[in-house]
């Protein structure tokens, strides 16, 4: 279960727990681990993982409660998913360099060589600096071609048009005679369409979402504004309907089957998601309040995503389209990021602090 504010504790299972166990094995001295032995990295948050977590929290002056949230993740120094490398150092003066022509257009400068997504049968532009008299060629013109915009120099560089021909990867090389002096990796991607259905939930006791169908088109537009230019992923609205659950779900809708000691009557995830659209790739259920940890009365989760289903609460911040795109990223296989350098990224794990940038790594997961 991936959430906007990833919280795990005793009883949790999954890849986030496995990441935690590996970090605790690195950060906590062996004599302070239970029985002075390394934790088994099995993804099960049991008594030994709980004890090691509390030891680490005590070492760092944090609240010793065994709950791993943003503060503990921050002290551990990383999160799940793929943390991007730091940007490469500035190149020496005069060295040819590729730069994006506009933000959030599928260009990743954090990798070496830099990377550009190009849609098949479409095109993208990039800026090439310090290469006025150099030759620019594609290693495989069958995948992508490159050409100069005639007599166009912007921001002190040449503007290049890269056209996607067939799905695949190639490189654009800058040559000084026979020598390659700079390269840009290009991924040509076919369009991947995600059929999304949106469900406005109410129960039989008068609890209901405040969301309306009239807002959904704008949120879908935001999702496409983020994902189409960066990963060639298109979201289409398949259904937007009200659904009624024949039960009193209470003030908080819960995912709790993974928690010990919670009555089966409170395991509400399956009850809600059973109302989903079987033909959709992504089902969103808007509810009034949602939680998935042991303390449902403390609002620390905005949304939860498991498989193709997402439960999304009314209090999930103001950037609803951004957060829906983030949750769709989980459905498509991307994990949360929590590093200090991750805030500009779509998959940064804290609501209303994240950006919209999609890395090469995540674009390739979303649309291989």
Q: Which two tokens stand for residue 173?
A: 């090389």
* Phi, psi for 169 (deg, rounded to 5): -130, 145
Angstrom distances, CA of residue 3 to CA of 144, 268, 271, 321, 348? 38, 17, 19, 16, 11
DSSP secondary structure of 115-178: EEEEEBT-EEEEEEES-TT-EEEES-TTTEEEEEEEEEEETTEEEEEEEE-SSEEEEEEEEETT
Give pLDDT tens digits for 278-334: 999 999 999 999 999 888 888 888 899 999 999 999 998 889 999 999 999 999 999
Mean per-residue pLDDT for 174-182?
94
Mean per-residue pLDDT for 31-42?
91
Mean per-residue pLDDT for 178-191?
97
Is the model's pLDDT at 143 over the cut of 70? yes
Mean per-residue pLDDT for 163-190?
97
Side-chain-facing half-sphere of 110: CA atoms under 13 Å:
16
> Using CA atoms, how far apart are residues 186 and 138, in angstroms rounded to an integer?
9
Give pLDDT tens digits for 80-111: 444 444 555 555 567 999 999 999 999 999 99
CB 113 within 8 A of CB 171: yes
Q: What percent of the chain is predicted at pLDDT more than 70? A: 92
In which residue ranges of the chain is CATH 2.60.40.10 found?
97-189
Q: What percent of the chain is predicted at pLDDT more than 90? A: 68
CB 79 within 8 A of CB 5: no
pLDDT recorded at residue 296: 85
When pLDDT is cut at 50, 70 and 90, the band that residue 359 belongs to is: very high
221 or 262, which is more confident? 221
For the structural domain made of 192-366, what CATH number should be given?
A: 3.40.390.10
Partnered with residue 215 across adjacent β-strands are: none
pLDDT recorded at residue 185: 98
Helix (H) or strand (E) holding 228: helix 216-231
Is the model's pLDDT at 117 over the cut of 50? yes
Q: Which range is least confidently modeled, 21-25, 89-93, 142-146, 306-310?
A: 89-93
Superfamily of domain 97-189: Immunoglobulins (2.60.40.10)
Distance in Å from the first CA to the final CA of the chain: 22
Q: What is the distance of C-alpha 190 from the center of its chain?
A: 20
To the nearest 10°, report the CA torsion of 74, 78, 80, 82: 140
DSSP secondary structure of 11-25: T-BSHHHHHHHHHHH
Other C-beta atoms closer than 10 Å to the C-beta of 180 total: 15
pLDDT recorded at residue 264: 85
When pLDDT is cut at 50, 70 and 90, the band that residue 4 belongs to is: very low
In which residue ranges of the chain is CATH 1.10.101.10 found?
2-76
Is the model's pLDDT at 78 over the cut of 80? no
Mean per-residue pLDDT for 175-195?
96
**Domain boundaries 2-76, CATH class:** mainly alpha
* Phi, psi for 236 (deg, rounded to 5): -115, 140
> Using CA atoms, how far apart are residues 267 and 132, in angstroms rounded to an integer?
64
Give pLDDT tens digits for 239-255: 999 999 999 999 999 99
pLDDT recorded at residue 287: 98
> Using CA atoms, how far apart are residues 249 and 256, in angstroms rounded to an integer?
13
DSSP state of 336: P
Mean per-residue pLDDT for 158-174?
97
Is the model's pLDDT at 355 over the cut of 70? yes
pLDDT recorded at residue 213: 95
Other C-beta atoms closer than 10 Å to the C-beta of 175 total: 16
In which residue ranges of the chain is CATH 3.40.390.10 found?
192-366
The overall average pLDDT reported for the chain is 90
């Amino acid at each position: 279960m991936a959430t906007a504010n990833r919280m795990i504790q005793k009883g949790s299972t999954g890849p986030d727990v496995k990441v935690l166990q590996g970090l605790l094995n690195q950060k906590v001295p062996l004599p302070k681990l239970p029985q002075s032995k390394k934790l088994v990295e099995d993804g099960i948050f049991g008594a030994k993982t709980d004890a090691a977590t509390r030891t680490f929290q005590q070492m760092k002056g944090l609240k010793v409660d065994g709950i791993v949230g943003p503060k503990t993740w921050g002290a551990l120094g990383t999160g799940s998913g793929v943390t991007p490398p730091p940007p490469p150092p500035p190149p020496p003066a005069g060295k040819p360099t590729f730069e994006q022509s506009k933000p959030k257009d599928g260009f990743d400068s954090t990798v070496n060589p830099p990377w550009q997504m190009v849609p098949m049968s479409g095109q993208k532009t990039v800026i090439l600096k310090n290469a006025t008299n150099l030759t620019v060629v594609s290693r495989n013109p069958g995948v992508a071609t490159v050409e100069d915009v005639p007599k166009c120099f912007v921001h002190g560089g040449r503007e290049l048009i890269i056209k996607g021909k067939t799905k695949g990867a190639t490189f654009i090389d800058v040559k000084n005679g026979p020598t390659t002096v700079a390269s840009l990796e290009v991924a040509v991607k076919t369009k991947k369409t995600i059929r999304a259905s949106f469900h406005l939930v109410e129960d039989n006791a008068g609890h209901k979402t405040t969301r309306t169908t009239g807002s959904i088109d704008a949120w879908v537009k935001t999702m496409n504004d983020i994902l189409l230019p960066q990963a060639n992923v298109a979201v289409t609205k398949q259904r937007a309907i009200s659904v009624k659950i024949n039960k009193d779900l209470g003030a908080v809708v819960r995912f709790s089957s993974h928690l010990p000691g919670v009555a089966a009557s409170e395991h509400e995830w399956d009850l809600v998601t059973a109302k989903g659209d079987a033909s959709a790739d992504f089902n969103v259920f808007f509810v009034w309040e949602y939680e998935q940890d042991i303390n449902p009365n403390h609002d620390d989760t905005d949304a939860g995503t498991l498989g193709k289903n997402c439960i999304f609460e009314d209090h999930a911040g103001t950037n609803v389209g951004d957060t829906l795109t983030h949750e769709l990223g989980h459905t498509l296989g991307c994990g949360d990021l929590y590093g200090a350098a991750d805030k500009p990224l779509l998959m940064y794990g804290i609501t209303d602090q994240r950006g919209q940038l999609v890395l090469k790594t995540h674009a390739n997961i979303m649309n291989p």
